[in-house]
Structure 1
Amino acid sequence: MERMAMTLDKFTRSLDAKSLPRVLQIQSGYYFQGSVYELYGGEWSFSYGELLKIIGINITRLIVELQSEGSKSMIVNLSLDYPGLFRIVADKRPYASIQEIVDSVRIGPECLGHPEFHCPEELQLAEGTIQAEESFRLTALRTEHEDSHVDCEVTRKDSKHIFTVKLSHTGEFYECADDQFYTLRELVEWKIPKGRKRTVTWAKSLPSKEKCVSELPEDYSGELVLTPVYELQTVSKFGKNVVFIPSTLDVEVLDVTEECDGDCFMQPLSFRDVFAKPSEFFPFRAEIIEPPSQVQEELGFLKSSKQVIVHSAYQAKRILASEIRSEAQRRFLIPVSYNGRFKRRPRTFPTAYDLEVAKSDMEQLHVVATKAFETHYEGLSSVLVGDQYLVHKRETSEVIYGGKRKTVEALACEKIVGKKYEAVLIPMCLDGGFVEVVHDKKQYMLSEVCQRFALPFNVKVSMRDLSVKEDLLAGATGLQLEEEITDPFLIVSTPDLAQCWEVPVNRTNMALQLLERWNGPKLTQGKAVPSAVEEIGEDCYFTLRRYVNTSVLPPPRPPKRPQKHSEDTVKLPPPRPKKPVPPSPKSPHTAKPAVSTSRSSICVEQNTTPPRKETSNTSLITMPDPGPQKVIGEENSPQHKTIKQDDDDTHDYEYIDEDELDIIRRKLNDQSIQGTDNRKTRNTYAMQTAKQV
């Protein structure tokens, strides 16, 4: 059967990236009467019969159509670095078979590669039945004995059930609604089906240092229809450069991959391609074909060198950190080998639940209340601004609420009153606010912080890293060390080994041409390879957090604040009247993992590279053990005990972070002044009334 030529644009839209590389033959079309066509600074000309090898396909930007009711549609162009978050509008067009779904959407091991669908009819499968309208996630595509199928996952009452569905299975399959936020890069990488447009809604802007070329209107709240603009990464038969060609180029092409020897072309490798190579592939000498457009100062040799040595590939530890400030937060990836020193900074806790999560067996958690809370439970303690507590553990206590006895969970603490320590229970639904009192003046290495304390943890650089020219962390007012992650890296050096660094795979966009195996002097076994602190953008930060958070189960939600009891409740002797407290917003810690990100061009494929052995055994997140929950009787409840201490106090509270307590002191002072003014006003009014009488 004779194959037909097609336009380059049509070929691009039908191209499966997994089938690359492909070899194309130019059939027709020219620019400027056959003259040299200059594209992105690279000179390129086409003639009939010329061969091009397609080694990559990228989406360079998005054409966005803004659709609002009662108004004209508007077209804007958005770069993939646009600093915003978007929600997906479920596609209303059905898919006719599982095969059509697999051909249209991307399925992968990462959380973003698990598309979710539902079917209006029951699916009778070998492992059981997926009910009508029950949602199922496609988690893996498998081929066994020339029979292809997908693994489907269904969650029922917190348990997961796995089903196998053949690609030939037909029916009506609809995309499920998605409540997650996505960056444009994540949408491009994972959520734009082949041959279909993607409709989204704008959710949130992210701070950005760079000025966007075009932005969405601030007050726009309608739907946005995304149309990708593609670019092909190509090499010619005799050229040594990688040339990027827009898919809209007015030429016709014919796919001749089966008839052409692809080995006669140059074989450029991206950093991801290199990382995927087996360990026996290393070390090797390579020529830099496409240097990185942007790279941190320490890795500048990648832009200036003609050749490099790639020694090995592995997964390395990094600490994801955020600057502690209200606006224009900076985000960092810090290597565990960072040589600076840290001092502790006070942590803030919005709820009592956060106190319970943050407590540690290593030391006593000491906090000061920054917000008042009045409890509705008789038997649980209210909280005033300035109250100080030593946090112990979660307990179950019997209390009286609305004239009835009920069992609730509370946080057992010691309240510091002068020289005394009074055992109290505060409600777990408490959403006041607390700040940590720091007694520790020691300086820690980063590795010591990660070993001794549970993340997230607040620190400040007390001594900068003297091994680097400029320490990015030294100027930060404070840092929150959030999570420990693993990330793919290559060890790359100059041929003379004068410069040798760990280079991130997912945030370095460059192409190499393999020259030969390296038989020169090797790196000394066990010698530490320098690692640089990376400053990353918001989109990369959210992406990294998304991948980390999906590796662990989310923490349980804190208990809700009690609702008002009904008026017809039979009451016991009522407690003293209390001021009603309005329902409060949920703690930010109860929200779903953030969606979770860098201005980096290829950050979204955080875990698309094959796993390699980590440099050390580590879990991605360390969650403190909340400890066993105890049921305690009313007679043994801590609220009935008062513990007295002698002047020779066994607790060492000689150091308190004065900066953090200044705010609390001012609040207390303002309350005192306000109370005095109110009393003066009442006394004046009483005297005037007496005179009139």
Structure 2
Amino acid sequence: MDNPEDSVSLSDFIAFLPVSSFPRIIKIASGVYLQSSVYDISGSECCLSTGDLLKVIGKELQSVHLVNQTTEKREELPDNFQGVFEVCGNNCAHATLGELHEELSCGDHMLPYWFTSASDFIVGDHVVQQQLPVYLSSVDKETHCAECQVYYDPHSYNITIPLSTQGQFYECKNTDSYTLEQVLLSPVLLKRTYKCSAMGSETYKIFPVFEVKTVMHMRKGFVFMPSSLEVDVVDITDECENFTFIQPLSLEEVCERESKFPVVAEILHTAECNHFAKNDTYSALQKGKRIVIHRRIISQKVLATGCKGKTSRFFYIHKQYKGKFRRRPREFSTIYDLWTKVVGGEQLSVVVTQDCESSDDNFPSLCIGDHLHTVHHTKTILSYENEPREVDVLMCNKESTDDEDEEEVETIMLPLYMEGRFVEEVKDHKKYSINNIIEKLKLPCEVKVVAKDASLSSDPLPSFSSLRLEEMVEEPVLLISLLDNISECFELPIKYLDISLILQECYDPSTEELTISTKLEELMESFYYSLRKDLPNQQLPPPRPPKRQVKPKDDKPSKKTGKSKKPVHPELKNTTDIHSKTPALAPPPVPPSPTPSPSVLPPIPVPPIPPRKCMVEETKISETHQVKKSNVYLPTPRKNSASHKDSDSDHDYEDMDKTMNDQLKITQKDTKKSRYHFKALHHNLYSCLIA
């Protein structure tokens, strides 16, 4: 079995091996893939070591190559190759008939052929002359003799020739032609050398490449490898008839063998379970650990979320959990949330805890303290943009209390898009188990754990002021226990754990009752959100409110114009504002004095009118206003600023008041002088008119 002389290349072994002889057990003898060399086939990494055993259970043709016997150049044939191959005869002489037969056959497979001898050879009492054609039809393995027919023109006779007969034997010229399919189906023909008119006058050997389907010891699943791997193998099928190839099984594959339960299994490989849940039980499932698989069940558990501040924790609460719950009021943020519960068959009573203003005149607004009792959901037709639309609404009985403590009940309809805060009125103060909640209440719901599970060493659920029970989760699990502690069982999820097992002997179930220890599991945050994606019946967001009617562009105020202009009286249109950008209007010109008469005394000369202080101040204020509007910072002028560094800010206002009073006095004096000059001018004009 270990004789290297018995080894052949993997390509020859697979090519010459007919499909009818499968399965075959082979042993890796030698080659490139020695000492645990690793290769990658179609993304599957595999390792071949000297002495490894493989069971070949099938092969599939992948490609066909021709190798030029002169240049050793390899060429791949197309799939639709239609050429015909002619056998090139073997002209080498062999000392015995057995050597020739070994050359022209392939193990137990042979085809009839013609041969002759360059010299006379003796068979018993007969002498077969040289160059006579002999047809070999079959060989008896027990007697090692060939059944032949000697042709002596025009006669022929049958003769049995021992394979040990000596002579100078060689094959006669073969004139037969074969298609590529015929060559591939015959191991004997694959050994031969051919000529093909479609490929020229060169001689070729045909090398098919197969995908080999194998089973490896202690390797999971089937292993596919090409027959072109440069390894030598030995066929040991006869020596290993009772050898069993052990294949690791995944949890899904173990479930398919449910008829063997309960069964003892050994763990060959296990991946980290930290991605799934914080469960110390899974940490005991290490390589080499033996477990008992009792049965496959459907696990029922509730997905729950607890919040503390900004931190959330997620749990699986199993039906075996013994804690007690009490209902808490639920909170809703939209009328749509209430509508979904009514559609599901619930009737709710809620209290409005936030004012809800309706943007649509068709629907009422809600105030804090209003009580709403859902009645039913319906549809109504409303007009939007002068078009009738059918919208979903929720009919409710609204109870509000006025100042005289008299309740008024009003039936209203509310749009689904209305937002607010609504708190459920809960009058149920019973204590529920997790089984009662599953049977009597509809999920999701808000609860508080009022009594912890005493069987747990640490129960985190009572520490939450509120738990949200989201929905029921059902999934297949394996009920298993450790072999050294049979009575205590726990659930092993099939879908989320990567564990490889080998099944061993069957387990005789005892009469002792099994106790399921899986009651509460804390889930990892990443696993929770991936689970939420896979769970069905996720609620859709509430509908959008209808678009408001857009006013025409002409009715909109211009963006460049700030506030709308106030109407101005016609008589005040020419009045100058002290904050206006336009300069103040000059005073009206003084009319020229008429030419005095000689008889009239010359008029009193009129002194020049000094510029009015108020107008100067007005111009300064206007210029200052213009500078301020140019977005340039100018410091406010102050007198003796250095001497007032330590003074209080009230002193600044006193200086401003003093300055304003001084300006007012100057203005009053100028006004009196202007009146005097005006009276003098009027007197002169009157005198001239009289004269």
TM-score clears 0.5: no
User: TM class, shorter-chain normalised?
Assistant: 0.3 to 0.5
When normalised by structure 1's length, the TM-score is 0.43
Greater relative contact order, per chain length (Cα 8 Å cut-off, separation 6+) = 1
When normalised by structure 2's length, the TM-score is 0.43
